[in-house]
Structure 1
Amino acid sequence: MSLPDILTRIRSAEARAGRPAHSARLVAVTKGHLLEEIRHKVLAHGEFPLGENRGQEVRDKVREWSETAGGAPQPRWHYIGPLQSNKVKYLERVELIHTIEDVTQAEVVAEHAQKWGHAPGVLLQVHNGEAQKHGIAPGELSSVLAGVRATGLDVRGLMVMAPYDQPAEARRIFHDTAQRAHDLGLGELSMGMSGDFEIAVEEGATLVRVGSALFE
């Protein structure tokens, strides 16, 4: 599926939900893909944030871009994978981290941000109720939010993942997460992937993370 096709589907989902056009934005998930392919599949169609899930891959792509782009500005990098404290050092050029799970992680990011002279925005990853390792239990969101804000980081919203190929359950999770973000006064919602991004947009996603559909 081409990037323009994905954007058309996002705009259609916005319209079905009665949302303003362009209120949901695409994060192109580029993990495992070469810069040449990313330029052709993504950046040829405009400026979109690129989502990566490994710190070393972000570091390597930032370096390769600097060496091959002839002075063109770096793309906007987002980090969407599990956050390991010893890999935060590779995320200096990342503008948004989607996957903060506890205050300790936030403290590590804030410490590195002081060295970098700038701080990325962050999202809190919500546990979706499935048997999974990552995410904050919904009942703990308020306390974690307060703790992360105490580090000085800008908490912009929530992120959640839904089980694959279960549209009804995905809709429930997205709806619930959107309500929690509203209750906490948070505006950014990173929800939806290749198989369910349209449902996520209908339920309020402001960022959808699409990779496999884009590069198939």
Structure 2
Amino acid sequence: MSLPQVLERIAAAAARAGRGAGEVQLVAVTKGHGLEEIERYVLRYGDFPLGENRVQEARAKIAAWPEREWNFIGPLQRNKVRYMRPFSLIHSIDSVGLAEALARRAEREGYRPRILLEVNVAREPQKHGFTPEELDVGIKRIGEIETLDLRGLMTMAPLTDDPEDVRWVFRELAAMASHHGLKELSMGMSNDFEVAVEEGATMVRVGRALFTE
């Protein structure tokens, strides 16, 4: 699948849900791919946000294309918050403590990070994020931090051969966001992004599907 084909599928999924294709942003996940591959499979098709989940790998790529929009999508350790300023959006704030550490660093550097809170909707023990039960308190406390710009929620659905099996995950995250008045929903990856769009995703994080002929 190529990037234009992914965009076509996003548009078709949006139409099935009575939405416009412009309501969904593709975040092209470039982790694990070199500069030449990124040029060939992503950059040639337009100006899409690029998603990275490892700080060291991201820093080299940002240096190559500082003018691009970069999103941080992976697990973030507190000792790495000092590297977050180049990212226009951080998808993976998974605790109040991490948010507070980011806020302290941002205040020292004089900027206001845009963030999403990661929610472990399916309660998978190996994954990061707030549980649904923790989310109300997390949103209240993080929403009170003036240094941070809380935009919405993010989740990673369990891996499955049939995307229909995880539709409920996206539906629940959308309900949580609506309940709290949050507009951005980062959900859906290469294997399930169409179902995520049908359930209200405003951003889909697609990587593997882009880097194929």
Code of the aligned partner of 1:155: L
Code of the aligned partner of 1:157: G
- The residue that corresponds to 2:150 in the other structure is 155
Runs of 4+ in 1 over 3 A off after TM superposition: none
SS at match of 2:23: coil
> How does 1:133-144 map onto structure 2 within 5 Å?
133-144=127-138
SS at match of 1:123: strand
8 Å Cα contact 2:164-2:195 kept in structure 1: no
> How does 1:51-70 map onto structure 2 within 5 Å?
51-65=51-65
- The residue that corresponds to 1:69 in the other structure is none
> How does 1:40-59 map onto structure 2 within 5 Å?
40-59=40-59
- The residue that corresponds to 2:140 in the other structure is 146
- The residue that corresponds to 1:102 in the other structure is 95
> In structure 2, what is the Cα distance between the partners aligned to 1:42 and 1:59?
18
- The residue that corresponds to 2:8 in the other structure is 8
Unaligned runs of 5+ residues in structure 2 are: none
8 Å Cα contact 1:50-1:76 kept in structure 2: yes
Say what the alpha-carbon RMSD is for the aligned residues: 1.3
- The residue that corresponds to 1:71 in the other structure is none
8 Å Cα contact 1:55-1:88 kept in structure 2: no
Q: 175, 181, 184: which is aligned to 1:179?
A: 175
> In structure 2, what is the Cα distance between the partners aligned to 1:173 and 1:64?
36
> In structure 2, what is the Cα distance between the partners aligned to 1:160 and 1:206?
12
Cα distance per residue 1:168-205 (max 9 Å; x no partner): 33101000110110001000000000000000000000
Displacement after TM superposition at 1:44 (Å) = 1.2
Code of the aligned partner of 1:146: K
- The residue that corresponds to 2:125 in the other structure is 131
8 Å Cα contact 1:58-1:91 kept in structure 2: no
2:163 maps to 1:167: yes
8 Å Cα contact 1:59-1:91 kept in structure 2: no
Unaligned runs of 5+ residues in structure 1 are: 67-73
2:192 maps to 1:199: no
Code of the aligned partner of 2:154: M
> In structure 2, what is the Cα distance between the partners aligned to 1:5 and 1:116?
40
Displacement after TM superposition at 1:96 (Å) = 0.5
Code of the aligned partner of 2:36: E
Displacement after TM superposition at 1:145 (Å) = 0.8
Code of the aligned partner of 2:137: S
Code of the aligned partner of 1:189: L
- The residue that corresponds to 2:113 in the other structure is 120
8 Å Cα contact 2:174-2:200 kept in structure 1: yes
| TM-score of the superposed pair, with normalisation by structure 1 | 0.92
Q: Which moved more, 1:30-39 or 1:76-85?
A: 30-39
Identity across the alignment (%): 54
Say how many residue pairs are matched.
209
8 Å Cα contact 1:13-1:202 kept in structure 2: yes
Code of the aligned partner of 1:194: S
